[in-house]
A and B are shown apart, each in its own frame.
Chain A
Amino acid sequence: MREVACPSCGAPVKFVSAQSLLAVCGYCRATLIRRDLDVEQIGTMAALLEDVTPLQLGAEGVWHGTHFAIAGRLQVKWEGGRWNEWYCVFDDGRGGWLGEADGEFSVSFEVTTSAPLPAWESLAPGTGVTLGGVAYQVTDRREAEVIAGEGELPFRVDAGYKTTTADLRSATASFATLDYSEAAPRLYVGEVVELAALRLRGLRELDGWR
């Protein structure tokens, strides 16, 4: 872990994961990029919109026996509403995503594949796609925009960042996201989860709940 002083306000900003490239200052919302020796402010992140999520930075859980902590979050908006992508740092060094959309949760990791990925235009809800030998079906296709973020993130992102993604599910609750935000599509693979199965601690206290 590395701790730096925010160049904008002087508050301490942590980079818990060596893979984190960017961090949002928790006090002044300055967006900081990690350099070799110091950090550089590249902008200011928009404030998060309030939502009813039980997750928060610092919450910890266990997925398939591996402990993880929530290090960052992106709040994304599309025509059908908003969702959260929580960046999780796992004890085995991997960085994964805990997706929270429509009250449903998924855990996924980026995987590199040599196989060609389908073109965005070829995908529609219900389309069958085979990835890594697993037969998936497209559940939705979203053109969205990052509206806010917090904590650490593994790539450079600003409010207004456009994302183009398709979510897929298999017959065994395997979950995949095809991300077409950049020139080369990225593939994330994981599974649909019940939040209770992640044995989370440090969840947010919500008024009137629990």
Chain B
Amino acid sequence: MAVNPPTPPAVATLTCAGCGAPLSIRAPGRSVVVACGGCGAVLDAQSADHQVIARYEARQTVAPRIPLGTRGTLQGQTWEVIGYLARRSKVSGVTYTWFEHLLHNPTGGFRWLVEYAGHWTLSQTASAVPSAPGGLAALEVEYRGERYRHFQSAKAEVSYVVGEFPSQVRVGEQADVADYVDPPRILSRETSPEASTWSIGEYVDGDTVWKAFRLPGAPPERTGVGAAQPSPYRGHSRTMRLLLAAFVGAAVLIQLVFSVLAQQRLVLDAAWQYHPGVPTTASVESEPFTLTGRPSNLMVEISTTLSQNWVYFTLTLVNEETGAARTFGREVQYYFGRDGDGAWTEGVPWDRAYLPSVPAGRYVLLVEPESPRPVNYRVRLTRDVPRTLWLWLAVGLLVVPPLFFWWRQWRFEQRRWEESDHPMAGSSTSSGASADDDD
């Protein structure tokens, strides 16, 4: 085996040709430029003399969130922060600034740790080229079997740079950036006149970053929902659907059991006639009948021979053993005819009502009709009739938590897309581009 070159020092140090400040090159051979954060000089990192190849006005120095030279472990690999740049874009008159830390590992290569409004993503050059099944103008691209939705396109400009980079980086340099998301992943295309590169990133929690690099204090507070921030609701949506299905299923089952167990026994079926002015027909009494079992309902059905008329029934259920009486009124009316709009009807010649919680016992029913004209009618009483009302009530209550959950999930996605090029319907845009849908 040939003699191997000597192991290089981990850090090569040099003096800034612009201001004399000490600079480091932590990825010799790979870094192309090294930028002095103090004076704004950009030096050639590859040649031995480290000439100044560009210079910019360092209007203000920006302290990297993670100091250059800091090492930390993210996704199982050690990374060293070797470069840092601030980039900004203007959308509808509002300037957005984000910060990119360049991470390096000799074996792992480079990663970008990007922070915007407290949201972090760790990204790298895409190993494959995404495809756009719907054409280049499509709002969806496919990368390694996953579909990504277009989030935002903007022109990004470098506003501050310090440290070393594997390609030429200059303040004022512009690139077109297009982001596509499939949380927690984000796919970005960066196009400059020289190159077009895709990178794939994944959302990282601020706390994870802080722990990884053992940084003091707390990570910057998050504002809004990050483009690639995973939804806390997403994984639970299925559970929610299953739970809802299970509970509604249980409610239906309970209903079925009660239906099967219900007596549904016809206890009275009587027919009478009413004639106005004939006192014997103004108040009639049924044969006694017996109700058994637990206190349950009694269905009262009245059918009549009404036509263009009304009748009012005062009904009294009397317990012969205790003398307890329950009086209730039912009105039946039925009219029909024909006018300019065609045939019409009003009401029906029959009626149905339920008396709840009637105890077992021996009963009679008193019926007192009242009507301007004679009418034939029939009263049927059925003991213990299953009712779907309770089922509907239960279902109505059961859907409340899922509806609330889904509303919150929708709100989260709405906030995510608020800052995108495609805000969801009903969201208020912060850019002021459209103000027609504010709440």
Contacts and interface: CB of A to CB of B under 8 A. Distances in A.
Interface of A: 14, 24, 26-27, 48-54, 56-58, 77, 80-82, 102-105, 125-126, 135-137, 139-140, 150-151, 169-174, 192, 194-196, 203-209
Contacts of A207: 7-10
Contacts of A27: 3
Contacts of A81: 30, 32, 46, 166-167
A58 B3 CA distance: 10
In the complex, which of the residues B3, B4, B28, B125 has the most CB atoms of chain A within 10 Å of its own CB atom?
A: B4
Nearest to B192: A125
Contacts of A135: 131
A103 B4 contact: no
Q: Closest 3 interchain pairs by CB?
A: A51-B29, A103-B109, A26-B2
Nearest to B195: A125
B168 interface: yes
Contact of B28 (A26, A51, A196): A51
B125 A171 contact: no
A50 B166 CA distance: 15
B164 to A, nearest CB: 11
B104 interface: yes
Given A50-B28, A58-B2, A81-B167, 4 more contacts: A26-B1, A57-B4, A173-B127, A206-B10
A169 B129 CA distance: 6
Given A48-B5, A57-B1, A81-B30, A170 B128 contact: yes
Contact of B8 (A140, A169, A192, A206): A206
Contacts, number: 126
B125 A204 contact: no
A139 B125 CA distance: 11
B194 to A, nearest CB: 7
Interface of B: 1-5, 7-11, 26-30, 32, 46, 78, 104-110, 125, 127-131, 142-144, 166-168, 191, 194-197
A16 B415 CA distance: 62
Contact of A151 (B2, B127, B129, B196): B2
A102 B110 contact: yes
A171 B9 CA distance: 38
Contacts of B108: 103, 194-196
Contacts of A170: 128-129
B2 A82 contact: no
B78 A125 contact: no
Given A140-B195, A195-B108, A209-B106, A51 B1 contact: no
B7 A204 contact: yes
Contacts of A195: 107-109
A57 B2 contact: yes
B410 to A, nearest CB: 33
Contacts of A126: 191, 196
A126 B129 CA distance: 10
Given A52-B27, A171-B129, A192-B127, A103 B104 contact: yes
B106 to A, nearest CB: 4
A173 B128 contact: yes
B166 A103 contact: yes
A52 B129 contact: no
22 contacts: A26-B2, A58-B2, A81-B30, A102-B30, A103-B109, A125-B195, A126-B196, A136-B129, A139-B195, A139-B196, A140-B195, A151-B2, A171-B128, A171-B143, A171-B144, A173-B144, A192-B127, A204-B4, A206-B7, A207-B10, A209-B105, A209-B106
Given A81-B46, A151-B2, A196-B107, A171 B30 contact: no
Nearest to B47: A49
Contacts of B129: 136-137, 139, 169-171
